[in-house]
């Protein structure tokens, strides 16, 4: 009995010692994990003119890839992120305090590892080129107080698939979403009035686009080379449209509101309202030939771009101007039938590159002769 009691006592003493050692070791490990960022790990900033607020200008000694901008630094309220502040850094996520109102141009440009961005609703301005070339950015929320998406803001953000734009945005700037190749869907709010030049140029997989009644201006090439677009509707409110506004080899129809003052749709193709200007061909139609109606005076830039099926186009004598690259990436165009003489054809004002990317065997057949690609004329 005594030996058993002695054994139990020794066992308890050893167990207490063992537990004490474990607790000390665990305490030492916990002490090694920082409970907050070290005092010497701090974002760079500059003090604003009011003496109370500051602008974040760079990472400084901040080493985490998860960028969180606080409400204040050293007692100064953070109200802005400077131009170029985090350009080409390796941050993976960004979120900011709701004291921030401005993010400067180029602030996150070329952040190749950036994937997720949460912008507080207090932000009213995001600068040009801000997230350009952020090729892994796939999740971003835009603030409800934003009015403009500026030039090249999200250009070449190749991982964005769905983009939600909040109500209140008035302008989508030039090339704002240029070459967002994998973006399949974007909503355009009812508040938008202007869609800039090349705003969605090269968005290859963009399938759904609704232009709301209220948009007045659509810039040149705004929806050009959007190769998955099957249909687009221009509302009555649109009164300014740039050249090469749309091209898609999936486009089956271009629709125009009957009350639109400058545009019209004939057989699914886009013309000016009085049908004197040919703007764009619906390239997914299976036809191999197309006749431009008599009365058309101008054929605008890239009007037959990305047309795979077309081989023959008939041009009336009424045409006096042909824009540049009208057959851009349309490899099968081989013959133009022109309803006038060779001399009449030569009198037409043409852009120097009007027939770029046509076949070497491309010919123009006039009423009195044939013009070869090299300009040689064979008269009847």
Structural domain harbouring 327:
286-380
Query: Nearest-CA neighbor of 194 among 215, 167, 209?
Result: 215
Domain count, the chain: 1
What pLDDT does 136 receive?
Answer: 98
Contacts within 8 Å (CB) and 24+ apart, 197-204: 197/221, 197/222, 197/242, 198/174, 198/222, 198/224, 199/172, 199/173, 199/174, 199/175, 199/223, 200/226, 201/175, 201/225, 201/226, 202/178, 202/226, 203/177, 203/179, 204/228
DSSP 191-234: T--EE-TTTTTT-TT--B----BTB-EE-TTTBTT-TT--EEEE
- Any idea which residue has 């047309």 for tokens? 307
Q: What is the pLDDT along the chain (380 residues), one digit of tens a residue?
A: 444 444 444 445 344 444 344 434 434 433 432 334 445 579 999 999 999 999 999 999 999 999 999 999 999 999 999 999 999 999 999 999 999 999 999 999 999 999 999 999 999 999 999 999 999 999 999 999 999 999 999 999 999 999 999 999 999 999 999 999 999 999 999 999 999 999 999 999 999 799 999 999 999 999 999 999 999 999 999 999 999 999 999 999 999 999 999 999 999 999 999 999 999 999 999 999 999 999 999 999 999 999 999 999 999 999 999 999 999 999 999 999 999 999 999 999 999 999 988 888 999 999 999 999 999 999 99
289: tokens are 């030939």
Measured between its terminal Cα atoms, the distance across the chain in Å is: 130
The CA dihedral of 19, 22, 24, 28, to the nearest 10 degrees, is: -170
For residues 212 and 165, give the distance between their C-alpha atoms in angstroms, rounded to a whole number.
13
Does residue 148 fall inside a structural domain? no
Does residue 343 fall inside a structural domain? yes
Chain Cα centroid distance, residue 135: 12
Does residue 312 fall inside a structural domain? yes
Q: What is the pTM of this model?
A: 0.87
Does residue 71 fall inside a structural domain? no
Helix (H) or strand (E) holding 67: strand 66-69
Does residue 323 fall inside a structural domain? yes
Does residue 357 fall inside a structural domain? yes
For residues 226 and 133, give the distance between their C-alpha atoms in angstroms, rounded to a whole number.
19
Sheet with 312-315: strands ordered across: 289-291, 312-315, 335-338, 363-365, 369-372, 377-379
Query: Nearest-CA neighbor of 196 among 271, 128, 126, 121?
Result: 128
Helix (H) or strand (E) holding 336: strand 335-338
125: tokens are 């301005």
271: tokens are 């013309």
Does residue 349 fall inside a structural domain? yes
16: helix, coil or strand? Answer: helix
Q: Is the dihedral of CA 275, 277, 279, 282 positive or negative?
A: positive
CA contacts within 13 A on the Cβ side of 326: 21
Does residue 168 fall inside a structural domain? no
């Amino acid at each position: 009995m005594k030996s058993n009691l002695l054994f139990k006592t020794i066992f308890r003493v050893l167990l207490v010692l063992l537990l004490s050692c474990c607790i000390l070791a665990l305490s030492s490990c916990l002490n090694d994990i920082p409970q907050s960022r070290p005092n010497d790990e701090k974002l760079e900033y500059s003090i604003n003119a009011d003496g109370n607020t500051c602008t974040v200008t760079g990472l400084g000694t901040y080493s985490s890839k998860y960028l969180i901008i606080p409400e204040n630094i050293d007692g100064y309220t953070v109200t802005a992120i400077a131009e170029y502040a985090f350009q080409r850094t390796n941050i993976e996520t960004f979120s900011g305090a709701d004291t921030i109102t401005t993010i400067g141009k180029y602030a996150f440009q070329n952040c190749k590892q950036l994937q997720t961005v949460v912008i507080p609703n207090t932000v009213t301005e995001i600068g040009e080129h801000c997230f350009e070339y952020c090729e892994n950015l796939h999740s971003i929320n835009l603030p409800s107080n934003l009015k403009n998406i500026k030039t090249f803001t999200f250009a070449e953000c190749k991982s964005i698939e769905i983009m939600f734009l909040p109500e209140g945005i008035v302008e989508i700037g030039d090339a704002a979403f240029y070459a967002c190749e994998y973006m399949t869907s974007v909503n355009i709010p009812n508040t938008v009035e202007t869609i800039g030049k090349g705003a969605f140029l090269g968005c290859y997989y963009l399938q759904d686009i609704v232009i709301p009644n209220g948009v007045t201006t659509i810039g040149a090439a705004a929806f050009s080379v959007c190769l998955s677009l099957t249909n687009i509707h221009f509302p009555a409110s649109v009164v300014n449209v740039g050249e090469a506004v749309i091209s898609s080899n999936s486009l089956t129809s271009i629709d125009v509101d009957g009350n639109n003052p400058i545009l019209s749709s004939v057989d699914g193709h886009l013309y000016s309202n009085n049908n004197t200007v040919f703007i764009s061909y619906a390239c997914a139609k299976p036809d191999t030939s197309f006749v431009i109606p008599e009365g058309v005076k101008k054929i605008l830039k890239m009007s037959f771009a990305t047309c795979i099926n077309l081989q023959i186009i008939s041009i009336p004598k009424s045409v006096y101007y042909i824009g540049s690259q009208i057959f851009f990436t349309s490899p099968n165009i081989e013959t133009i039938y022109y309803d006038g003489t060779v001399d009449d054809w030569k009198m037409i004002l043409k852009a120097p590159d009007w027939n770029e990317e046509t076949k070497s065997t491309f010919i123009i057949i006039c009423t009195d002769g044939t013009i070869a690609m090299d300009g040689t004329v064979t008269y009847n």
